[in-house]
């Protein structure tokens, strides 16, 4: 496993100039109240480069001319703390996972950093420090705190942002990433099937959701985002998360859900009738979305632009609704379809990285939908697609989405 992390770091190092230090922080646990914490979520860029999933760690890279050194700092293990929260990774574990062998106590971090920022060493003059700054994160991250400290202590250093260098790498998935996404999808599949098989006997959205949660827990994992399990009007709200309403017998249930494997996410949507039988109108509308989902997947290959992808989704949904007489003009589609057809998928459900056209190795979702409040119907069908050299592979192709297959499974 460590070969992947080593390889990613090598690629990152090649993007950096000589004479710099880069620092990545794993993050800190956020306090809920007193001594209770929210579940720890590692900084994904840090994890991407190290494979380490622990709080209070720092990856440090020093790059000079034809020479570089990587160091890792982790919180000192404490027998007293271990009695409460268990063991932290040992030096050997960190090396085994990440391939990083220079592991130090976090207490030494500032001293070690200043030793490299002093120009009398083999790395020559360091004039820039790279921090991993997610501009979309409004909270005071460790990086921001360090930026202030560093600017005060080393006013002559340039402070730069390494975020986009890493985001660019994360756009193209390696085998390990694809393997994890595939595993996450297969757990999601089992969970969706349990929901489909049991929805008949459920009265509330959360009861259907519970069948998903049971499968995830049984696979020692958690949802990759808050599960959406929406019936009737709720299914027209894109990020409906309450899942607390009674489900009418003639309602469709829109489920948008995922799981996490080694921090890699799946993101799947399926829509099915509570009782296992689509009405005629539900069938017609469902097939508009299904045809769009299939047409859009068919389009995906290297070189296709994001714009072409979006346009095809909108046009296909519009012509489907025009045919059914639900809309009279093409542009009316904006009333019933108001999100984009896909996003990158990886360590983040809405994975980072800017792109204009698809390239081999990207994983993108394909998730057209229509949402018609007047009919209390929302339908979304979402698959996770790997772009390959000459086309694509639908990684979630095993999760049924044809009406006949869904009805058969639900009534078997």
Q: How far apart are CA 353 and CA 166, in angstroms?
A: 8
Report the residue number, 69 or 343, with the smaller CB distance to ligand GLY: 343
Report the residue number, 236 or 365, with the smaller CB distance to Mn ion: 365
Residue 256 in the binding site for ligand GLY (CB under 6 A): yes
Q: How far apart are CA 269 and CA 188, in angstroms?
A: 10
Residue 383 in the binding site for Mn ion (CB under 5 A): no
Residue 384 in the binding site for Mn ion (CB under 5 A): no
Fill in the per-residue mask, 11 to 50: x = in contact with Mn ion (CB under 5 A), - = not in contact.
----------------------------------------
Residue 351 in the binding site for ligand GLY (CB under 6 A): no
- Which of 132, 194, 205, 267 is the binder for ligand GLY (CB under 6 A)? 267
SS (H, E, C) the chain: CHHHHHHHHHHHHHCCCCCEEEEEECCCCCEEECCEECCCCCCHHHHHHHCCCCCCEEEEEEEECCEEEEEEEECCCCHHHHHHHCCCCCHHHHHHHHCCCCEEEHHHHHHHHHHHHCCCCCCCCCCEEEECCCCCCCCCCHHHHHHHHHHHHCCCCEEEECHHHHHHHHHCCCHHHHHHHHHHHHHHHHHHHHHHHHHHHCCEHHHHHHHHHHHHHHCCCCCCCCCEEEEHHHHHCCCCCCCCCECCCCCEEEEEECCEECCEECCEEEEEECCCCCCHHHHHHHHHHHHHHHHHHHHCCCCCEHHHHHHHHHHHHHHHHHHCCCCCCHHHHHHHCCCCCCCECCCCCCCCCCCCECCCCCEEEECCEEEEHHHCEEEECEEEEEECCCCEEECCCCCCCCHHHHHHHHHC
Report the residue number, 74 or 365, with the smaller CB distance to Mn ion: 365
Fill in the per-residue mask, 340 to 369: x = in contact with Mn ion (CB under 5 A), - = not in contact.
-------------------------x-x--
Report the residue number, 48 or 225, with the smaller CB distance to ligand GLY: 225
Fill in the per-residue mask, 256 to 295: x = in contact with Mn ion (CB under 5 A), - = not in contact.
x----------x----------------------------
- Which of 54, 382, 384, 407 is the binder for ligand GLY (CB under 6 A)? 382
**Which of Mn ion, ligand GLY, none lies near 384, with the C-beta cut-off 5 to 8 A by kind?**
none
Least CB distance to ligand GLY at residue 292 (A): 15
Report the residue number, 291 or 340, with the smaller CB distance to Mn ion: 340
Where do we find the tokens 């756009």? 171
Least CB distance to ligand GLY at residue 337 (A): 14
Residue 367 in the binding site for ligand GLY (CB under 6 A): yes
- Which of 123, 212, 225, 264 is the binder for ligand GLY (CB under 6 A)? 225
**Which of ligand GLY, Mn ion, none lies near 225, with the C-beta cut-off 5 to 8 A by kind?**
ligand GLY
Least CB distance to ligand GLY at residue 224 (A): 8
Least CB distance to Mn ion at residue 347 (A): 14
Binding site for Mn ion (CB under 5 A): 256, 267, 365, 367, 382
Binding site for ligand GLY (CB under 6 A): 225, 256, 267, 343, 349, 367, 382
């Amino acid at each position: 496993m460590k070969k992947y992390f080593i390889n990613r770091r090598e690629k990152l190092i090649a993007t950096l100039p000589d004479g710099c230090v880069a620092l990545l922080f794993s993050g800190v646990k956020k306090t809920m109240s007193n001594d209770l914490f929210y579940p720890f979520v590692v900084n994904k860029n840090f994890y991407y480069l190290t494979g380490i999933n622990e709080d209070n760690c720092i990856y440090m890279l020093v790059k000079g001319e034809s020479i570089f050194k990587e160091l890792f700092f982790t919180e000192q293990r404490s027998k007293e703390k271990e009695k409460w929260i268990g063991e932290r990774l040992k030096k050997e574990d960190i090396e085994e996972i990440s391939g990083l062998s220079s592991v130090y106590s976090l207490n030494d971090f500032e001293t070690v950093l200043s030793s490299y920022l002093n120009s009398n060493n083999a790395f020559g003059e360091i004039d820039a420090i790279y921090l991993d700054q997610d501009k979309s994160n409004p909270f005071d991250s460790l990086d921001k705190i360090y930026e202030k400290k560093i600017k005060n202590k080393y006013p002559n250093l340039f402070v730069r942002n390494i975020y986009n260098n890493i985001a660019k790498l994360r756009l193209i998935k390696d085998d390990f990433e694809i393997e994890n996404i595939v595993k996450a999808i297969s757990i999601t599949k089992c969970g969706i099937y349990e929901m489909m098989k049991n929805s008949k006997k459920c009265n509330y959205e959360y009861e259907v959701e519970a069948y998903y949660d049971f499968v995830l827990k049984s696979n020692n994992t958690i949802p990759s985002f808050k599960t959406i399990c929406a019936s009737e009007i709720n299914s027209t709200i894109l990020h409906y998360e309450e899942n607390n309403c009674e489900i009418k017998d003639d309602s469709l249930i829109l489920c948008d859900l995922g799981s996490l494997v080694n921090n890699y996410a799946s993101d799947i949507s399926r829509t099915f009738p509570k009782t296992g039988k689509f009405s005629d109108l539900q069938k017609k509308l469902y097939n508009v979305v299904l045809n769009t989902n299939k047409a859009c997947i068919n389009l995906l290959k290297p070189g296709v632009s994001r714009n072409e992808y979006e346009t095809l989704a909108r046009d296909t949904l519009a012509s489907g609704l025009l045919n059914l007489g639900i809309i009279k003009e093409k542009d009316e589609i904006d009333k019933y379809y108001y999100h984009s057809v896909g996003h990158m998928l990886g360590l983040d459900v809405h994975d980072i990285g800017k792109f204009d056209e698809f390239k081999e190795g990207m994983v993108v979702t394909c998730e057209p939908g229509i949402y018609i409040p007047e009919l209390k119907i929302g339908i979304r069908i979402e698959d996770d697609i790997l772009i390959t050299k000459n086309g694509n592979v639908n990684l979630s192709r095993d999760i049924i989405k044809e009406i006949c297959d869904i009805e058969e499974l639900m009534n078997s």
